[in-house]
Amino acid sequence: MAAAETDRDAPSALCSEFLNFSAKDTAAKWLLASNLPKEVYQHLACYVPKIYCLGPNLNPQNEDLLAQLLLQSPLEWYLCGEEPSVGLTKLEQNNQPSQLCGHVFKVGEPTYSCRECAADPTCVLCMQCFLGSVHKEHRYRMTTSGGGGFCDCGDTEAWKKGPYCQKHEPNINDSSQKDPLANLSDEMIARTYNVFSIILKYAVDMLTWDKEDELPEGLEPPVRGDTYYCMLFNDEVHTYEQVIYTLQKAVNCTQKEAVSFATTVDRDGRKSVRFGDFQFCEQAKSVIVRNTSRQTKPLRVQVMHSSVVAHQCFALKALTWLGQIIRYSDALRRILCQVGLQRGPEGENSSLVDTLMLCDSKMWKGARNVYHQLFMSSLLMDPKYKKLFAIQFAKNYERLQSDYVKDDHDREFSVTDLSVQMFTVPSLARMLITEENLMTTIIRTFMDHLRHRDLQGRFQFERYTAQQAFKFRRVQSLIGDLKYVLISRPTEWADQLREKYLEGFDAFLELLKCMQGMDPVVRQVGQHIEMEPEWEAAFTLQMKLTHIISMMQEWCASDERVLIEAYKKCLSALTHCHSGFTDGEQPITLSMCGHSVDTIRYCVSQEKVSIHLPVSRLLAGLHALLSKIEVAYRFPEQLPLSELSPPMLIEHPLRCLVLCAQVHAGMWRRNGFSLVNQIYYYHNVKCRVEMFDKDLIMLQAGASMMDPNHFLMIMLSRFELYHIFSSADCRKRYSRENANKDVVQQNNTLIEEMLHLVIMIVGERYTAGVGQVEISDEIRREIIHQLCIRPMAHSELVKALPENENKETGMERVIDNVALFKKPGVTGRGLYKLRPECAKMFNLYFHHYSRADQSKAEEAQRKIKRQNGEDSVLPPPVLPRFCPLFASLVNILQCDVLLGILGAVLQWAIEPSGGHWSESMLQRVLHLIGMGLVEEQQHLIGSAEENDTNFNFTFKISRPGEAPANTPSILALLETLQNAPHLEVHKDMIRWILKTVANIKTTRECTASAPPSDSSGHSQEETVRDKDKAERKRKAEMARLRREKIMAQMSEMQRHFINENKELFQQSLEELDPSTSSTLEHSPSSCDSSLVCVGPRRWRAGGSERRQVVTCILCQEEQEIRTDGKAMVLAAFVQRSTVMSKNRKRPPHNPDKYDPLFMHPDLSFGTHTGSCGHIMHSHCWQRYFEAVQAKEQRRQQRLRVHTSYDVENGEFLCPLCECLSNTVIPLLPLTKTSCSSEQPDLSQWLNITSQQSKALLSAHRKTKAAGAEGVDEMDGVNDCPPPDGFKLDYTPKNPYSSTIKEMLTTFGTATYKVGLKVHPNEQDPRVPIMCWGSCAYTIQSIERLLVDEEKPLFGSLPCRQDDCLSSLTRFGSACWTASSHTTVQNHFLRLIAALVPDPRVENTPCILDIDMFHLLVSLVLSHPAVFCMDSSGLSADTAQLHFLHLVTVAHIVQILLTSVPEEVQMEQESGGAEREEEEKVCMLYNTLRMHLGSGLREVSSGWHLWRCVKTGILPYLRAAALFFHYLNGAPAPPELHTLGLGEWEALCGYLCLPSNLLQLYYSNQELMQSLLHGWCSHPSVLQGLQSSVALIRFPRESNHLIELPSDYSALINQASSFTCPKSGGDKSRAPTLCLVCGAMLCSQSYCCQTELEGEDVGACTAHTFACGAGVGIFLRVRESQVLFLAGKTKGCFYAPPYLDDYGETDQGLRRGNPLHLCQERYRKIQKLWRQHSITEEIGHAQEANQTLVGIDWQHL
Ligand SMILES: [Zn+2]
Ligand SMILES: [Zn+2]
Ligand SMILES: [Zn+2]
Ligand SMILES: [Zn+2]
Ligand SMILES: [Zn+2]
Ligand SMILES: [Zn+2]
Ligand SMILES: [Zn+2]
């Protein structure tokens, strides 16, 4: 890189120039200049290339500093006319800022919108403003910003209420009307104007400059070197990986550099990847272009002269500077706006602002961002210029959109994205509609981009390729703009607005006309379609337009004149669409039941039919609106209804519904899935409002204007059922229609669908305008029907309801009327349950039910009725009345054709034969009859005030049929059916109908004449019969309930079968093993009556109590646990743990060299063993594991997918409960011991032990020396004779069977391998140490857990943990047999030396650096290796007790050394009871001070010291009690089975310790004093006490997960200000919080990947290894999701502990309801962590959801 060298001296040259430079003088010179622009340009031409872009590696800080001094400063001097800091401060002081907040959002920052007060959802507040506003008490929505956009606080148009927060509340003397320029002097205005116009023009020129090697006039550099940049530009086509790969090839850089280049290109839009002479750069360019042009268009690369790049850099800087300067004063801002919008020499649309906008798509991302920001802080903040800018924006609209559609950058990087800032302001939108005809412009532009039409001019979408989808998405953004414009409806209409709106409406109709009838389908017969036709594009368009169509209608509804005009326009558009709606089809005449009608011949199953009918549907919507207005009630003749042709109106919607029916009937199977999908969306909640619902309204509208008989005949004909019902003997369908079964089946379904449609046409009245209802009635009814299916969560309900353009369902207003809310527990979510009184509104044929919904709802409702002891009949509900325009629809129920149809179906039901009939058909017929009766009842009630009583359904159904004479009446048929045995299920409905008919008859008679006397008698008789029936029913009901309850219990049992099983197996173990039994009935049988777990006096199990029999879960055989028997094993999971760590900063150990013998008291990492408690034979397990291995190998070859467990690492799932395991623990019996008579006291015993030690030590050295060929170093130890009965050459017999031996090795090696993260090596001397450590660590962690859960020490552990601890401890006591005895003896010698200082043992840590419980456990468990050589009659129990005493004293000393200073005034006078302890502890402390002098501070309070000892040592005593309990099997005293007082005494008693622990010291004072001296004289003690590193103090508090804020948005805010630690101040895309230590990480991103064990891993995975020994718990802040990670391959997502008011989590933050911390759920997560169950939880999650297995967790 030669070029870099030549530039080295440039800065120094600049330095001298810089020293001579004076900004003040330059400004003064400019003040006098005649041609200021030229002067300034000269200045820039001279300096810019000297400051910017001097080499390959830019130095932005240096550049910015120089630019400030040499370029900006003179401008500021000129502008202010004085020292800039003074001048600008003055400006700021004089400024009266506007009330707009205008805070521009960063990516990921929380934004708030009030669902009650915001004009639309795009109106948002920043967190600061929100917290100071009234809206925080309202229903609000919280989202995270995608970047861009600003806070709308202070914008009165954005908020219906509370537009200002406290901070932006306007002053009383409102200054907003005043011209901000009034405060400025004319000279100042002129100077500002000059500077702004020159600089803005300069910036615009440079940013829009497209020459690579030249500069604009006046900017050519004085000297020009051959220095170029190879500039790489961003595109959205190439992937990160492609770019990285190409760069590595092209510019020969490392992967790391390439990643950094790619990241910058993605962020800033461009990045120079090479600097040098032209040739050098050109070469790189050609490689890049060549490498990326294969499949797509190549990456954009330019070779640019360094001076061009320099000026562009400064141009960006200059824009930023302008943005900063105008912040000082609204007046400056206004001047900048003026400069920007001033028309240029080229006339219209030539201002600088126009130029920028029109070049937008040509600029790179970084440049666009900077100038968009400037627009936002200037033009959009100034009320006057916002309007002018909006006009320019509208004028350029078409061009901007076209550019955007061609461009490939995301919309957020396009200037078109600013539309939301203007179009959503109601006053601006209105102005733009009337003055710039914006509505029409948008729609026309949109249409221009959808060019593909068929012959009829309808849209025709080709194959919907990815690229087309991409383009189509861009076009759709125009629909978004249209939505913004329409989002607030006018309250007042001016004539001009009417005119322009209707013009826009016309344009919109043109658009809809292109959609009417698009994507027609033809039924495929014979063969399947070959290719699924394209349908998605059309549906996407429909879906996007749904809200627009609704909004168009709402606008119309707000003005009667507009409504009527629009109606006329829409009608004529429809007429135009179907001008020849007969399409040449032949006219025919239909006749039935004495009626006839003319129509055409048309079969949906044979001709073209389309689902897209937006024009018809818009008309239907307008029709319903028209029906609502007063004119419709009073003078319907004034409405433009005369031109309507009802048959034309219904034709296409009817065809569409028939199509659905035929698809249901299976007639369109060969048309493939595209049609099924279309039908699905047609009914789906996202589309149905402007599709299915409107078709239904159109049918209602058409039918209401027709003779019902005619309507029904046309309908039958379109359903292709006319031939069945029109024939004279239709009641004998079965004898006539003998066609094949499929056709009969098809026709049955069609009849069902047709009847359902009739039910809907007559019964769906909950649309305002159709029925006399309000909008809230409509929503209420929707909710009721959803809740009739089952209780639902808030979000489920929201999903089931249509949302309006503001994403509101209107649910909150009515929900409490119809439902009761039930709060969630620790899992699950809150549920809404239907209020019982609302069930009467239930309509089985609710039009929005799918078939599945319908049957679920039916079942649920019947069940509820039965449970309440009611008749389970579900009659049709009482309906609201129709509006006048629709009133005649009720006549359908009593018209001859319908009655004919009903009669026919009933007749078929009576004589069922050969499937010519279905139950659903009958059910629908009965429902229709029921509807007729309910309608009649309503008419009777209302008849007093209305004179409309000619609805006499009962009369019609009592009448015998006419056509073929003497057919029975419907009523007669029903009476016959009542007794038909095959219709059991419909009996109650038939009974209900007959009863209602009787009631109506009675009412009619009553009202007709005086109340007849016999009616009461009749009814009395009836009530007696009813009562009788009711009683029988009640009894039957009771029996049924009992049955149901039993059934429920059984299924519950089945569900918990596995769990139950687990318990069973555990019980079998527990019953037989006294040591794990928690009951105390059969307590001690030997030695002493008091319960002691350690020492010669300890409790001993009798022979029968020792016997332990278990069952293998694999072969189900029973097996006794014996030393010489078959090995039984427990599935276990060993993992590294930092859960109890008090020092997460400790660097990881080198696994090969680390010596784990002494655990540091900070417990910085340990090895935890857990188990699910399931027992197997070792050979059964081995066979199982081999099978798993083999299966896994086959699977990997075949599928190449991972499993939730890693077989190669020894992992498997427990065969019974599928719990993740990685090894097995062998089960061992209790060791046999006996009480021998005389045992030595502590000092005697210590004497013997030290003799033994010495003998061993010298023996070991001898062998070693012999091995090392006589390097004789035996100083003084050369001959230590062993004490009596101690045989150095004795090798004891290994008591264990071969399988047990094998399992001892297996578990030991596994613990070693996992705990140290090394390769398995059973010979390694550290194997036994790791086993003892795991035993100690696991007991300690369980002791903590019991404290945290506030549970007693004994009796509260689940069986599985009990079993695990017991086998782990017994394994611990046996594992020495699997290792070399010398090794274990050596360990023992080193351990004991820590307590009894021995100069011959090296590297012994001081007592401050030892965790005493670990020491105790290791001593006890390693001692057998020494003890086994002794035959002198010493007891192992004695040794255990002496170890306990020694370690306890050491721990007391440790606690005293690290005790915290007493807090003043905390001392309480204790009674005499503890006096002695207090005095003794003081004495001991003073002894310590004697040894350590100034290392210990003075303490006078014995009370305080004793309290320190007591609380500090408690966890140790508790852990020791657990340890000896499991080791020796002694039952614990009852006091330890409960919480509360007496624990101390009970513990001391159980552990055979004096309750005044200091007696341990004073009863052996002589010996202890020498030990004490030894401990204190270890040099590390004094060092430790004096060092600045915090000492570990006792008791160690339990770790807990970090505190989380109660309000989730606080977290979002915290995360939004978090920047990636690696890529200089960039926002992190996936900020993730470690819940263990509180670190915020930049997850799931290239920038923060690091290498771990040779693999690239994401920040989270890397962090887990440092913070959690491989296990991590995180909160993904943007997603509101908890993430569990274990190792590199395992992970799962977990529900976050944040809930909204409806008791639901919001994973992904999609709903935006405010979220608050649920402590219970957070504690649950914490408990999982403390229990070491995270890995297990992941395993279960992955087993349940296989897709989790495929995720690359390591990259998170
Ligand atoms: Zn704000
Ligand atoms: Zn504010
Ligand atoms: Zn509000
Ligand atoms: Zn077995
Ligand atoms: Zn299990
Ligand atoms: Zn952490
Ligand atoms: Zn990062």
Distance from Cα 1364 to the centre of ligand 5, integer Å: 12
Distance from Cα 1650 to the centre of ligand 5, integer Å: 37
Q: What pLDDT score does 1056 carry?
A: 45
Q: How many residues are recorded in the chain?
A: 1756
- The pairing of strands 1220-1221 and 1212-1213 is antiparallel
Structure confidence by residue, pLDDT tens digits, 688-724: 999 999 999 999 999 999 999 999 999 999 999 998 8
Question: Rounded distance, CA 174 to CA 888, Å?
Answer: 60
pLDDT band, residue 1239 (cuts 50/70/90): confident
Distance from Cα 1690 to the centre of ligand 5, integer Å: 20
Distance from Cα 144 to the centre of ligand 3, integer Å: 19
What does the DSSP assignment read for 1054-1069?
Answer: HHTHHHHHHHHHHHHH
pLDDT band, residue 1041 (cuts 50/70/90): low
Distance from Cα 1180 to the centre of ligand 5, integer Å: 14
Task: Evaluate if residue 1129 carries a pLDDT over 90.
Answer: yes
Contact status, residue 1576 vs residue 1488, Cβ threshold 8 Å:
yes
Distance from Cα 161 to the centre of ligand 3, integer Å: 6
Closest listed ligand to the CA of 1645: 7
Contact status, residue 1156 vs residue 1415, Cβ threshold 8 Å:
no
Distance from Cα 135 to the centre of ligand 3, integer Å: 4
Residue 1221's beta-bridge partner residues?
1212
Q: What pLDDT score does 1271 carry?
A: 46
pLDDT band, residue 1278 (cuts 50/70/90): low
pLDDT band, residue 1062 (cuts 50/70/90): very low
Closest listed ligand to the CA of 1668: 6
Structure confidence by residue, pLDDT tens digits, 338-363: 999 998 888 888 899 999 999 998 99
pLDDT band, residue 469 (cuts 50/70/90): confident
Q: Which residues contact 607 (CB under 8 A, 6 or more apart)?
A: 522
Residue 382's beta-bridge partner residues?
none
Structure confidence by residue, pLDDT tens digits, 423-448: 988 999 999 999 999 999 999 999 98
pLDDT band, residue 40 (cuts 50/70/90): very high
Q: What is the arrangement of strands in the sheet containing 1128-1137, beginning at the earlier edge strand?
A: 1166-1177, 1128-1137, 1223-1226
The dihedral through the CA atoms of 30, 33, 38, 39 has a sign that is negative
Distance from Cα 128 to the centre of ligand 2, integer Å: 7
Closest listed ligand to the CA of 1176: 4
Question: Rounded distance, CA 1080 to CA 64, Å?
Answer: 80
Backbone φ, ψ for residue 1465 (5° rounding):
65, 15
What does the DSSP assignment read for 197-248?
Answer: HHHHHHHHHHHT---SS---TT---SS--S-EEEEEE--SSS-HHHHHHHHH
pLDDT band, residue 1008 (cuts 50/70/90): low
Q: What pLDDT score does 1202 carry?
A: 61
Q: What pLDDT score does 1086 carry?
A: 39
Distance from Cα 1603 to the centre of ligand 6, integer Å: 13
Closest CA to 439 of 509, 516, 360: 509
pTM: 0.79
Q: What pLDDT score does 1235 carry?
A: 59
Q: What pLDDT score does 431 carry?
A: 94
Structure confidence by residue, pLDDT tens digits, 1215-1238: 888 889 999 999 998 876 665 667
Structure confidence by residue, pLDDT tens digits, 1434-1470: 888 888 999 999 999 999 999 998 887 766 555 555 5
> CA angle, corner 933, sides to 929 and 935, nearest 5?
115
Distance from Cα 1601 to the centre of ligand 6, integer Å: 10
Q: What pLDDT score does 1233 carry?
A: 66
Question: Rounded distance, CA 414 to CA 417, Å?
Answer: 6
Closest listed ligand to the CA of 115: 3
Residue 259 parent element (H or E): helix 255-268
Structure confidence by residue, pLDDT tens digits, 527-579: 877 777 888 888 889 999 999 999 999 999 999 999 999 999 999 999 888 77
Q: Hey, which of 729-738, 1100-1109, 1422-1431 has the most confident mean pLDDT? A: 1422-1431
Distance from Cα 1118 to the centre of ligand 5, integer Å: 17
Looking at this protein, which amino acid is placed at residue 660? C
Distance from Cα 1295 to the centre of ligand 4, integer Å: 22
- The mean pLDDT of 1494-1501, rounded to a whole number, is 76
Closest listed ligand to the CA of 260: 7
Structure confidence by residue, pLDDT tens digits, 284-341: 899 888 888 876 788 889 999 999 999 999 999 999 999 999 988 889 999 999 999 9
Question: Rounded distance, CA 1469 to CA 36, Å?
Answer: 89
**Beta strands in 308-357, from DSSP E residues, in sequence order:** none
Q: What pLDDT score does 1074 carry?
A: 38
- Distance of CA 267 to CAs 234, 316, 899, 1296, Å? 8, 15, 72, 67
Contact status, residue 221 vs residue 45, Cβ threshold 8 Å:
yes
Question: Rounded distance, CA 1035 to CA 1455, Å?
Answer: 73
- Distance of CA 889 to CAs 45, 763, 1304, Å? 83, 9, 86
Residue with tokens 């030669």: 2
Residue bearing the bigger pLDDT, 1290 or 618: 618
Structure confidence by residue, pLDDT tens digits, 106-150: 878 889 999 889 988 889 999 889 989 999 888 888 888 877 788
Distance from Cα 421 to the centre of ligand 2, integer Å: 17
Task: Evaluate if residue 1072 carries a pLDDT over 60.
Answer: no
Percent of the chain with pLDDT strictly greater than 90:
42
Closest listed ligand to the CA of 1644: 7
Distance from Cα 1651 to the centre of ligand 7, integer Å: 14
Q: What pLDDT score does 683 carry?
A: 94
pLDDT band, residue 1725 (cuts 50/70/90): very high
Percent of the chain with pLDDT strictly greater than 70:
89
Residues with CB under 5 Å of ion ligand 4 are 1112, 1114-1115, 1177, 1180
Question: Rounded distance, CA 48 to CA 307, Å?
Answer: 8
Distance from Cα 1638 to the centre of ligand 6, integer Å: 6
Quote the mean pLDDT of the chain: 85
Report the helix count and the strand count for the chain, using DSSP H and E: 66, 25
Q: What pLDDT score does 1138 carry?
A: 92
Closest listed ligand to the CA of 164: 2
Looking at this protein, which amino acid is placed at residue 1570? S
